[in-house]
Amino acid sequence: SPRTYRPVSHPTVRRAADDVKQILSRTTSTKPDVPPLRYLGDRQLMQPQPPVTADEVSSAAFQARLEMLAKAQIKYGGIGIAAPQVGWWARVLHFGSEEPNPRYPHADLVLPQFWINPTIVEASNETNWMWEGCLSVPGMRGWVERPRKIILRGLDGNGCEIEASLSGLAARVAQHEHDHIDGVLFPHRVPDPRFLVPQASM
């Protein structure tokens, strides 16, 4: 029978954000260090990543890596981060923050959330353009077109099946990070090399 996915309504997003805080507040003797970033040109970064098995999600080692990923996003100052960017070769994302991101002061707040094995199951025909940057492509910006709305389906940090309708900045960040787990970086999305520019020129 078809699976029923829990829609990510505002209260569910709030619970997901609380789950992130709980993971970050844990005190264990096996806290992993935050690894260095991987950059454009890294062979493994630019490969599709393998899915996570259901049994892995509940393991202490996996939960510790979730904690590491969220802390890596904070350490490196991103609005989102994908596991491969710190050398974790898995289909795992984290994006959002409890506080507004200074790079996007007028955007709606995107609460923190984990996505495991995410799949974009629907995308709008309506698109928008935005200058994107990336922790793995430092100092550069690219003019990238993406669908304005998407439906994302996958597992949360506890291994529960969820589905979310995302729009605006949340949809763009989710798509950007989803690209990472397929080995795609934003320069691959730029329609013309003239629209790939140094951040210092903006």
Is the pLDDT higher at 101 or at 21?
Answer: 101
Q: What is the tens place of the pLDDT at every residue in 57-107? A: 999 999 999 999 999 999 999 999 999 999 999 999 999 998 887 777 777
Please, where are the H alpha helices in 27-186?
Answer: 54-57, 60-76, 168-181
Q: Token pair 């950059």 is at which residue?
A: 39
Catalytic residue among 67, 132, 163, 177: 177
Residue 5 has pLDDT above 90, yes or no: no
Burial of 51 (0-12, 13-18, 19+ CB in 10 A): middle
Q: What is the predicted pLDDT for the residue at 104? A: 74
**The tokens of 37 are what?**
């970033």
Around Cβ 152, how many Cβ atoms within 10 Å? 24
Burial of 183 (0-12, 13-18, 19+ CB in 10 A): middle
Nearest to 32 by CA among 83, 80, 77: 83
For residues 117 and 56, the answer to whether their CB atoms sit within 8 Å is: no
Q: Mention every residue, 6+ apart, whose C-beta is less than 8 A from residue 168.
A: 107, 108, 148
Q: What is the tens place of the pLDDT at every residue in 103-139? A: 777 778 899 999 999 999 999 999 999 999 999 999 9
Residue 27 has pLDDT above 60, yes or no: no
For residues 131 and 174, the answer to whether their CB atoms sit within 8 Å is: no
126 is catalytic: no
* pTM for this prediction: 0.86
Q: What is the tens place of the pLDDT at every residue in 144-162? A: 999 999 999 999 999 999 9
Q: What is the predicted pLDDT for the residue at 15? A: 54
Q: In this structure, what are the phi and psi dihedrals at residue 138, rounded to the nearest 5 degrees?
A: -65, 140
Q: What is the tens place of the pLDDT at every residue in 152-199? A: 999 999 999 999 999 999 999 999 999 999 999 999 999 999 999 999
